Amino acid sequence: MNKRIQELKDQCYIPVAERVGDTEYDMEKFALLLIRECANLFDKDEIEISYVERRIHIIIKEHFGVEE
């Protein structure tokens, strides 16, 4: 598995209030993190970002309904 995917996956474990020390996996959070990661590939802080790259960033987030 890609190291970055593993890092995103690890961010998605949430504590279960009823059982101390237990966690539950939040699949929706993982999906949102993955979508943001993909969209952000086209939202660089470089001076010369193209219009097409900017549109790809926006379209990916709009398609999945992901806010900033």
Per the prediction, the chain carries an average pLDDT of 81
Please tell me the predicted confidence (pLDDT) of residue 51: 82
Tokens at 65, concatenated: 């309904």
Domain boundaries, the chain: 3-64
Residue type, 39: A
Residue 56 to residues 14, 42, 45, Cα–Cα distance (Å): 31, 7, 15
The predicted model gives 47-54 an average pLDDT of 74
Please tell me the predicted confidence (pLDDT) of residue 15: 78
Please tell me the predicted confidence (pLDDT) of residue 21: 64
> Residue by residue, what is the 3-state secondary structure of 4-63?
HHHHHHHCCEEECCCCCCCEEECHHHHHHHHHHHHHHCCCCCCCCCCHHHHHHHHHHHHH
Please tell me the predicted confidence (pLDDT) of residue 4: 86
Q: What is the pLDDT of residues 2-27, one digit of tens each?
A: 888 889 888 898 877 666 667 888 89
Flag whether the pTM goes above 0.75.
no
